[in-house]
Structure 1
Amino acid sequence: MIARGKYGVSIWVHLLLSKFLYGQPTHRLLRDLSDHQLTLSAGTVTGGLRALAPLFEPLEEALLGQLRREKQWHADETRWRVFAETEGKVGQRWYFWVFHCPSVIHFVLDPSRSAAVPIRELSASAGGIIICDRYSAYKKLARVLAHFILAFCWAHQRRDFLELANARPDLADWALAWVEQIGELYYLNGARLEVRNDPAQWAERAQRTPVVARKNFYGSGSHWSGALAATMFSLLLTLRLWEINPRIWLTAYLEACAANGRQPPTDLSVFLPWAMATDRLARMRDIPVAQTRPIDSS
C-alpha cells in the first residue's frame, strides 16, 4: 500500500477501523497490537495514514455529490478540537457538521459554526427539506436559499413544553397535553418505519461515532488528520447505513488501490453503495468477517 512500507492492506484496514469506526486512541491500539507481537511506532501509524489520505479524496467527492442529489437531510453539528495553528482563528475549537440523507452520511470539519458551512454544503443541490434544531445558522440558510424548507426537530419542541410545565405549574396540563401528542407522533412514525423496514435517519445518531472518538483521543493533531477523520467518518458511517461490512469493503478498496499503483481505482462505481451491482452489494453485506477474503474489484 505504501512505497517502501512494511505493512500490508490488512494492517491498515485494522488501523483505520479501530481509530475512525471504534474510536480507539492510537496509543491504546499500539499497545493492543504489541500483545499480538506486532510492534508499530506512533510515527509509523501517523505517516502511514497521511500517505493513505489521498486515496480517499475521490470518495469524498462522490459522497458529497450524492448528498446534493437528495431531497431531504438531517443536519447537526458538534465540537471537535484541531491542535494546530489556524490563521485568523483563536483557540482550537472546530466543529464537525453532519448531513444525513437516505443514501449518505457526510461530515464536514470547519473552524466555523456559521451558516456559511451548511450553505456551502447544500447550495449546489436542487433544494428540499432540512430537518434540524433551531440553531440560527439553519434559519439563515433558509433565508439565503429559498428553495430549502426547514423542519424543526420535535425532540427540541418537546423539551420546551416540559420546561414550561416545570416553570409554570398553571400551564402544566396544557404543556403536557402537547407532550402526549408529540409522543403519539413518535409512536406512529416508529410504526411506519417498522412496516417499511426503514431505519430512522437522525443526524444526532450519526454524531455518536465522532463524539466517542473525541472522548477517547480528544480531536486531531493537524489539519490533514482532521480532514481524514471527516472523510473516514463519512465513508464508514455511510457503509453502515447501507449495512455493508466495513472491513470487507475497506479491504477490497485498498487492494484495488494497491493494484492500481497506489492510486484510487479508475472506476469508483463498484465501491459506491448506491451505484454498485446488486450481487456485489449482497456480497459486501453478507460475508462473515471470519471468512472474508479480498473481493475482486471488477
Structure 2
Amino acid sequence: MGVELPVSTMADMVGVAGAALAPLAKLLRHELLTRDVIHADETSLRLLDTRKGGKSCSGWLWAYVSGERSGPPVVCFDSQTGRALRYPEAWLQGWRGGTLVSDGYSVYKSLADNDPGITSACCWSHARRGFASLYKASREPRAAMALRKIAGLYRIEKLIRDRPVEKIRQWRQRYSRPIVNDLFAWLEEQEPCCPPDGPLNKAINYILNRRDELSCFLGDGAVPLDNNICERAIRPVVMGRKAWLFAGSLMAGNRAAQIMSLLETAKRNGLEPHAWLTDVLARLPEWPEERLAELLPLEGFTFSG
C-alpha cells in the first residue's frame, strides 16, 4: 500500500495484539496441562536487557507440545532468561501429571524425580545421533550395528502407527521389548572395549544411562518413540531467529511466545493462522469472557460470518 511504518509503531501494534491475546494463551496453557503426555524442548533466544543499556543477553524459549494421542494438538512456548529446573517447574505447575517426553537434558529427569506424578520418557531419535555421527565420520561397524538395532524399533512403529493405543502397547511388548533388551545387553558388552573418552563410549553411555527413560514407551501406547513432534514445533523459531536476532526484552519475548503458541496451535489443527488471528482479533473486544474457550484455535473453532 506504500505506507511506511516506523519499527517502534509496528512493535507497539504487536504489543497491543499480544495483550489482547494473552487471556487466550493462558487458556491454551491450561488446556495443555490437562493432557497425559507432554513433550518438552528448549532453544536459545537472545534477549535485550534493558537494565544493561540495551545489550543482548542469553535467553531461552521453552516449547511444550501435547502428545499426538491426547486430543487436539496444543503447542505452547515460554520465554525465559535461563535453562534451569525452576523454569519448566513453574510452567508445568498445575499439571495433573503424566509422561514428559524430552531429550536427554537432565532438568527434565529432575522434574520427574521431584514429582511422583510425572514419568520421564527419553527420545530414541536423540539416542541414535551419537552413533549416526560416528558412522558418518568413520564407518565404525559397531555404530552401524547400533543403528540397525534402533532402526528395528522404527520399523515396528511404522507398522502400528494407526492402531489403537492398547494394541500399540501389546505390539511393543511382544516385538519392541526384545529389541530394546538385546540392544542394552549388546551395548553393555561393547562399553568396556571402547576408549573411555571416545565418541563410541559416549554414544553407548548416553543410552545406558537412560535405560528407564528410553524404555518408557514400551509400557504405554500413547507415549511415542521420540520427541520429534516438539523439535518440529521449535524449528520455525530456529530458522526465524537468524532474521530476528533477538527479542526486545523479556516482556517482548513473553509476548512473542504467547502469539507463537496460538499460531502454531492453529496450524497443527488445520486452521490458517492469519485467517484465525484476523477473525479472533476482530471479535475479542466484544466477546464474553466466559466464552473465551470458543476462540481457541482447536478442533471445532468456527470462523465468524
TM over 0.5: yes
| Shift, 1:191, TM fit | 4.4
**Is the 1:123–1:145 Cα contact (8 Å) retained in structure 2?**
no
Following the alignment from structure 1 to structure 2, what is the Cα–Cα distance between the partners of residues 154 and 201?
Answer: 10
Could you say what secondary structure the match of 1:202 adopts? helix
Distance 1:194 1:218, change over 3 A: farther
| Shift, 1:75, TM fit | 0.9
Following the alignment from structure 2 to structure 1, what is the Cα–Cα distance between the partners of residues 23 and 273?
Answer: 18
Following the alignment from structure 2 to structure 1, what is the Cα–Cα distance between the partners of residues 282 and 133?
Answer: 54
Following the alignment from structure 2 to structure 1, what is the Cα–Cα distance between the partners of residues 133 and 93?
Answer: 36
Matched, 1:253 2:280: yes
Identify the match of residue 145 of structure 2 among 161, 177, 183. Answer: 177
Identify the match of residue 95 of structure 1 among 47, 57, 60. Answer: 60
Following the alignment from structure 2 to structure 1, what is the Cα–Cα distance between the partners of residues 20 and 278?
Answer: 13
Could you say what secondary structure the match of 2:33 adopts? helix
Determine the structure 2 residue equivalent to 1:150: 120
Cα offsets for 1:51-95 (capped at 9, x unmatched): 2221111111111101110011111110001112359xx961110
Matched, 1:213 2:237: no
Following the alignment from structure 1 to structure 2, what is the Cα–Cα distance between the partners of residues 166 and 47?
Answer: 48
TM-score of the pair, normalised by structure 2: 0.69
TM-score of the pair, normalised by structure 1: 0.71
Following the alignment from structure 1 to structure 2, what is the Cα–Cα distance between the partners of residues 51 and 58?
Answer: 13
Following the alignment from structure 2 to structure 1, what is the Cα–Cα distance between the partners of residues 16 and 133?
Answer: 51
Determine the structure 1 residue equivalent to 2:268: 241
Following the alignment from structure 1 to structure 2, what is the Cα–Cα distance between the partners of residues 241 and 189?
Answer: 22
Determine the structure 2 residue equivalent to 1:160: 130
**Is the 2:39–2:66 Cα contact (8 Å) retained in structure 1?**
yes
**Is the 1:50–1:224 Cα contact (8 Å) retained in structure 2?**
no
**Is the 1:82–1:226 Cα contact (8 Å) retained in structure 2?**
yes
Determine the structure 2 residue equivalent to 1:267: 291
Following the alignment from structure 1 to structure 2, what is the Cα–Cα distance between the partners of residues 76 and 43?
Answer: 31
Following the alignment from structure 1 to structure 2, what is the Cα–Cα distance between the partners of residues 207 and 48?
Answer: 25
- How many aligned positions are there? 238
Determine the structure 1 residue equivalent to 2:168: none
Could you say what secondary structure the match of 2:99 adopts? strand
Once the two structures are superposed, the pairs formed by residues 67-146 of structure 1 within 5 Å of their partners are: 67-85=32-50, 92-102=57-67, 103-146=73-116
Following the alignment from structure 1 to structure 2, what is the Cα–Cα distance between the partners of residues 163 and 240?
Answer: 32
Identify the match of residue 204 of structure 1 among 231, 237, 240. Answer: 231
Cα offsets for 1:16-65 (capped at 9, x unmatched): xxxxxxxxxxxxxxxxxxxx322222222122222222111111111110
Distance 1:41 1:91, change over 3 A: closer
Determine the structure 2 residue equivalent to 1:44: 9
**Is the 1:95–1:111 Cα contact (8 Å) retained in structure 2?**
yes
| Shift, 1:165, TM fit | 5.7
| Shift, 1:188, TM fit | 3.2
Residue 124 of structure 2 aligns to which amino acid in structure 1? Answer: W
Identify the match of residue 231 of structure 1 among 239, 253, 258. Answer: 258
Residue 268 of structure 1 aligns to which amino acid in structure 2? Answer: L
| Shift, 1:181, TM fit | 2.2
**Is the 2:62–2:79 Cα contact (8 Å) retained in structure 1?**
yes
Following the alignment from structure 1 to structure 2, what is the Cα–Cα distance between the partners of residues 176 and 94?
Answer: 37
Following the alignment from structure 1 to structure 2, what is the Cα–Cα distance between the partners of residues 201 and 105?
Answer: 13
